[in-house]
Amino acid sequence: MEVKSPNENSEDFIKLILQLQQDRKRIINAAMYDKLAKRDAHPPLKEIIRAFGSWTRLLVRAGIITLEDLDPHAIWRLDHLRMPREKWTTKESFIICRHLHGNYISSSDYNRIRKEHPEMPSRATIVKQYGSWAEALRSHGLTPRGRFTDDECLAFLRSALAEHDGKMNSVEYDRWAVENVAPRLLALTRRFGSWPSALRRAYDHETQG
């Protein structure tokens, strides 16, 4: 049996992490993956690190996160095998929220995410710091407006497909979404059930139109 080099395994690793991340609100860090790999016989964490250089680089290649606003401390938290329990800053907390929900987030969205990440400051703490929830969001490049509607999600998806001659996979879409401030892949799969279901809705809506 031919053994693939780390570079040849890269796409397989990306597909795996997207599959594992799909139904999770919390971004999988190295520690979480290490446990899953041992439980479900996935490739060892060390193979992924060898292929990408770090866990964070895999998340970036998969389109799950971007590095533009991640400070070294936040990157360390994703890479490290032991998730520290000290409190996160407001900036770090909103970075995670943006990766999960895009630029549109409500206080209830934030509270749901905080249940998965108790290190995040409470909404009351943030409001006390910034004067209001809306001002806190604006200060970090977010918006207090509600999340994307179904029609908005489908409109973005159709735009992405149009730019790719009607064909693109989930990884390509998520990269496009980051570049165009559109609903991320996780938002679409949560909203419509799966990537194929989102595609069907987009195609059906276009046909009806």
For 54-78, how does the pLDDT look when each residue is reduced to its tens digit (9 = 90+)? 888 888 889 888 877 566 666 766 7
* pLDDT of residue 3 exceeding 50: no
Contact 103, 178 (CB under 8 A): no
Tokens 């969205």 correspond to 109
111-166 pLDDT, tens per residue? 888 887 788 899 999 999 999 888 898 898 887 655 677 888 898 899 999 988 88
Q: Which of 59, 79, 99 is the last residue before a domain boundary?
A: 79
What percentage of the chain exceeds 70 in pLDDT?
81
Number of domains in the chain: 3
* pLDDT of residue 30 exceeding 70: yes
Look at residue 84 and tell me if it is in a domain.
Answer: no
The single-letter DSSP state of residue 44 is P
Contact 51, 13 (CB under 8 A): yes
98-114 pLDDT, tens per residue? 766 677 777 877 888 88
Looking at the fold, whether 131 and 74 belong to one and the same domain comes out as: no
- Which helix (H) or strand (E) element contains residue 48? helix 45-52
Cβ count near 62 (within 10 Å): 22
The whole model's pTM is what? 0.41
For 147, residues 6+ apart whose C-beta sits below 8 A from its C-beta are: 101, 102, 104, 105, 106, 109, 187
For residue 198, the enclosing domain spans 150-208
Q: Exposure of 106 by Cβ count < 10 A (0-12 exposed, 13-18 middle, 19+ buried)? A: middle
Look at residue 169 and tell me if it is in a domain.
Answer: yes
Looking at the fold, whether 39 and 64 belong to one and the same domain comes out as: yes
